[in-house]
Structure 1
Amino acid sequence: MYITITPQKLGANYSQSAADYVDYLEKENQIPGIEERDQELFFNQEEDEISPEEVVKEIDANTAKLEKNEPKFYSITVNPSQYELKKLQNSSEALKQYTRAIMKDYASSFNREINSRPINVNDIKYFAKIEHHRAFKGTDFQVKENQPYASKILQLKNEVRKIEHGELEGDIKAIELQILKLEREAPHQQNGQRIVQGMLKDGNQNHIHIIISRKDISNSHSLSPGSKYKSSEVLMNGKLVKRGFNRDDFFQKAEKTFDKQFQYQRNFVETYRARKDFVKSPKTYFSAIMGLPASEKALAIKILRETGIPLPPVIPLSKAQLSVKLIKTIQKSILTASRSASIGI
């Protein structure tokens, strides 16, 4: 499970409307030829089939006392791994149930009170949408590592055009053979095609987008998951006030909720805590893998190799193989994949 929380990001200044972002989330419903019955609509904690117009209206109207330089909403993206999606058996209804469950986890991760009671999911104004496709981005390592081939192919195609227009002399057939050779030699392929930016990824790519108003449902209290305060109390006007949002707590709760709701047996390398520990101490991370029972260790290695992360040929299975150079190589690869949301563990 890979979950991200990001503030509204629309240029130097925050847009005063959620319309552009909601329109972006409608991209799959705008695919030519898609049947109305196959379109995914927005939903929240209690309602299904909410129109994009209603989402924009509700989010835009819930911004009391927010300054122009403050985000009006936040976005959560929930990306289940291929193993987790397999457990869900491609069920949109299961993804909806899970979304509603983790929004309770989200609310409980605020160290805040409203009217002297803890925040709960009924205080959160949000709308969610399931998407079934994901395209390769320019930041994906497959696209980056194919780029030198793409640049050379583009150069050769330009030469062909110039020859056709009489601006250059050359053998078009010979150049076309060079292009074909480069297409085949590109290191990352999908169904015999060179992976390029914008190409749809194969397999089950179901994921969830959630747009959350910065203000609570009463439009009175600001609830920021981007708060720099994890969980603390501060004395204000002689009164002790709770503040903050604990992201670690939310990510771990969301993981446990999935496991409980769908009876999922999570391997060590799939856990949020393990991935976080890897960033801090790769040696400890791989030592933990080495200490797993044989069957769990074999599955851990299999999962790592299937993530699409450009791991080195040898995954360290002994202390002798845990070289500093190897650790740094793997660490850089996993962090790059994580940032591009392509990580699958």
Structure 2
Amino acid sequence: MYISITKQHLDKTFSKSCGDFVAYLEKENRDKEPELQEHFFDQYNDHVSPKHVTNDIDGNTAKLRKNEPKFYSLTISPSQRELEHIGNDPEKLRRYVREAMKDYANSFYRDAPVSVDSIKYYAKIEYERTYKGFDREIKENQPFRAQIVKLEHDLVKIRRGELEGNCQAIQKTIDRLRAEAPHKVNGQMVVQGMKKPGLQTHVHIIVSRRDMTNTLSLSPGSSHKASEAILNGSPVKRGFDRDGFFEKAERTFDTLFKYERNFVESYSAHKMYNKDTYRFFAHLMALPTNEKSAAFKIMGKSGMHVPNLNIPTNQVQLALKAFKQLKRTIDVAKDAGSISI
């Protein structure tokens, strides 16, 4: 499970409207018949119009300054293994989002508890993803792509008579480079804009910065961590417990759908990897044989080479070379969203 929380955008000032974002989230509905379109939904309604979403979020920004976000964006991206477990069922995903938003509300650190009924949000399920420039596959294919583009330009110049050369030989070189590129989908070299294979269902959520009454500010931003401050001589709770939210959201999925989560899929493993990679590695190698085997299969499904390591589970001080090889494997799995929240 991968869950991200981002503010409206990263500039110094913020647009007064979420209209552009709402329009962007309608992209998969273009050219689809009305009965095949995916609708926005909230905690209690399955069909909410884009116009209503825009007007409701835009009208809930009382007393927010220009340098404050008007809304936050949450993205919930189950792994392909999790999607397979629920049959890629949009109804189950909507049910999960509604339960996860209860976890979101409960993660605000306040003297008076925040409930999901205090949160103004709208969510939208999407089924496709395309490769973008920051994806590992695009970066690793880029040297091959750059050579191909240059050779294709040379072909054009040769055919125009602007350059001398052997078109047939150049085309053979282009074909060879495409075949040697490390990442392909259905035999085709991965390029920007190409659809990603497999189950790619995910959910975008627009959450108002203000509560339902338009009086209380609810920021999940990283600069608003759970803490206490002194106001008029009394301690006041404030902020948002991100770790708590991620952990609760993970448990909610597992409980709802009786999902048996492997160690490498867990948020605790993700934290351990970031804070103490050697401890993560030792824990991974010390798993029972069946769980460890499943862990490597899960990472292998990310599409990368998983090293064949025959290492005793009680040997913590392992060869550095073998460790670095596995670390690269884990990094790829993290990038693929299989062990991150």
Q: Same fold (TM over 0.5)?
A: yes
Give 5+ residue unaligned stretches, structure 2. Answer: none
Counterpart residue number, 1:65: 63
Deviation readout 1:262-303 (Å, 9 max, x if unpaired): 010111111000111011112111211222211111101111
Q: 1:67/1:89 Cα in 2 relative to 1: closer, same or farther (>3 Å)?
A: same
Counterpart residue number, 2:337: 343
Counterpart residue number, 1:185: 180
Deviation for aligned residue 1:9: 0.7
Asked whether the equivalents of residues 299 and 333 of structure 2 are also in contact (C-alpha less than 8 Å), the reply is: no
Match of 1:80 among 64, 78, 81: 78
Asked whether the equivalents of residues 62 and 215 of structure 1 are also in contact (C-alpha less than 8 Å), the reply is: yes
1:206 aligns with 2:201: yes
Distance in 2, matches of 1:13 and 1:277, equals: 36
Match of 1:121 among 116, 122, 130: 116
Q: What letter is aligned with 1:297?
A: K
Counterpart residue number, 1:145: 140
Q: What letter is aligned with 1:41?
A: H
Distance in 1, matches of 2:91 and 2:25, equals: 18
1:108 aligns with 2:106: yes
Match of 1:217 among 212, 219, 222: 212
Deviation for aligned residue 1:6: 0.6
Deviation for aligned residue 1:323: 4.0
Counterpart residue number, 2:241: 246
Deviation for aligned residue 1:190: 0.9
After TM superposition, which residue ranges in structure 1, 4 or more long, deviate above 6 angstroms?
A: none
Match of 2:41 among 37, 40, 43: 43
Counterpart residue number, 2:13: 13
Q: 1:317/1:205 Cα in 2 relative to 1: closer, same or farther (>3 Å)?
A: farther
Q: 1:320/1:290 Cα in 2 relative to 1: closer, same or farther (>3 Å)?
A: closer
Asked whether the equivalents of residues 268 and 274 of structure 1 are also in contact (C-alpha less than 8 Å), the reply is: yes
Asked whether the equivalents of residues 41 and 48 of structure 2 are also in contact (C-alpha less than 8 Å), the reply is: yes
TM-score (norm 2): 0.93
Q: What letter is aligned with 1:343?
A: G
Deviation readout 1:186-226 (Å, 9 max, x if unpaired): 01111000011111011111111111001111110110001
Distance in 2, matches of 1:90 and 1:10, equals: 32
1:53 aligns with 2:51: yes
Deviation readout 1:146-204 (Å, 9 max, x if unpaired): 00000000000000111121211112122111111111110111100001111101111
Counterpart residue number, 1:322: 318
Asked whether the equivalents of residues 306 and 329 of structure 2 are also in contact (C-alpha less than 8 Å), the reply is: no
Q: Secondary structure at the match of 1:106?
A: helix
Counterpart residue number, 2:283: 288
Deviation for aligned residue 1:19: 0.9
Distance in 2, matches of 1:337 and 1:294, equals: 20
Report the RMSD for the aligned CA atoms in angstroms. 1.9
Equivalence map 1:302-317=2 (5 Å): 302-308=297-303, 310=304, 313-314=307-308, 317=311
Match of 1:173 among 168, 173, 179: 168
TM-score (norm 1): 0.92
Deviation for aligned residue 1:53: 1.0
Deviation for aligned residue 1:253: 0.3
Distance in 1, matches of 2:247 and 2:258, equals: 16
Distance in 2, matches of 1:280 and 1:328, equals: 16
Q: 1:108/1:315 Cα in 2 relative to 1: closer, same or farther (>3 Å)?
A: farther
Q: 1:57/1:330 Cα in 2 relative to 1: closer, same or farther (>3 Å)?
A: farther
Q: 1:218/1:147 Cα in 2 relative to 1: closer, same or farther (>3 Å)?
A: same
Using the TM superposition, name which of 147-156 and 275-284 deviates more. 275-284
Distance in 2, matches of 1:135 and 1:155, equals: 24
Asked whether the equivalents of residues 227 and 244 of structure 1 are also in contact (C-alpha less than 8 Å), the reply is: no
Deviation for aligned residue 1:328: 5.1
Q: 1:337/1:286 Cα in 2 relative to 1: closer, same or farther (>3 Å)?
A: closer
Deviation for aligned residue 1:10: 5.9
Distance in 2, matches of 1:328 and 1:123, equals: 47
Counterpart residue number, 1:135: 130
Distance in 1, matches of 2:73 and 2:309, equals: 35
